[in-house]
Structure 1
């Protein structure tokens, strides 16, 4: 599968669709989910054109990989859900159709602000 430049996150990265930004740096963009599933529900996306975690792990530079992981931590701190504050959160990414991925651009959901619950019921 090749990267789809018309996916919603590609459009957000190009500034074609409005979003409620939390944080941005050279590697990631983070914003609030428009349909939150928990009290706090944010998205963290790499700025590079990566379809999913497998694509990212095979093709991203080491600098991009570090930038994404550190970016997730920065966003958690900004949202007040990091372990530094005695809190916690869930970072979740879905891979391909069988994994429940809906948008073909790698993205992590950060859930927090309340007990997130069991992973699978």
Structure 2
């Protein structure tokens, strides 16, 4: 569902977009913000969110199209700078599908040859320490 004001004061991603909460920003344009996931599945796991609040891809009202350039540019950045061997791109719609934050977000998950395949996608193998997240951000900057 789209909020007429474009934001939800209770939404953690709206607060990140507004600068009220810190993030490790990877990319930003007029419609989207990309930042490192604090609980990454794999090294470099990044979320791309629309700047306006929409609940999910099903109720997005065109938001997925708006953030497509950010998804493409961020995906290239992750693969190039982190020397990833592949990339998974996905989103979830609804609690049953695993959505935890109800603001549309697209996961960009760099993949590496030593942990291939979809079965290993959700194995949280990445170091989620602040130092490691800062190191990844430095590689992307």
TM-score by length of 1: 0.81
Q: 1:52 to 1:116 in 2, by over 3 A?
A: farther
Q: Quick one: distance in 1 between partners of 2:9 and 2:58?
A: 18
Structure 1's consecutive aligned runs of 4 or more residues displaced over 6 angstroms after TM superposition are: none
CA deviation after TM superposition for structure 1 residue 36, in Å? 1.1
Which residue matches 1:106?
104
Which residue matches 2:22?
18
Which residue matches 1:117?
117
What whole-Å deviation, never above 9, does each CA across 1:6-62 have from its counterpart, x for those lacking one? 111011011110000000000110000111111220000011111000111xx23xx
Q: 1:116 to 1:48 in 2, by over 3 A?
A: farther
What whole-Å deviation, never above 9, does each CA across 1:91-120 have from its counterpart, x for those lacking one? 111101111100010001111141452258
Pairwise CA RMSD of aligned residues? 2.5
TM-score by length of 2: 0.70
The number of aligned residues is: 114
Is there any run of 5+ residues in structure 1 with no aligned partner, and where?
A: none
Contact 1:81 1:113 in 2 (8 A): no
After the TM superposition, which residues 1-121 of structure 1 pair with which residues of structure 2 at under 5 Å, given as runs?
A: 3=3, 4-56=8-60, 59-60=61-62, 64-80=63-79, 87-114=85-112, 115-118=115-118
Is there any run of 5+ residues in structure 2 with no aligned partner, and where?
A: 123-141
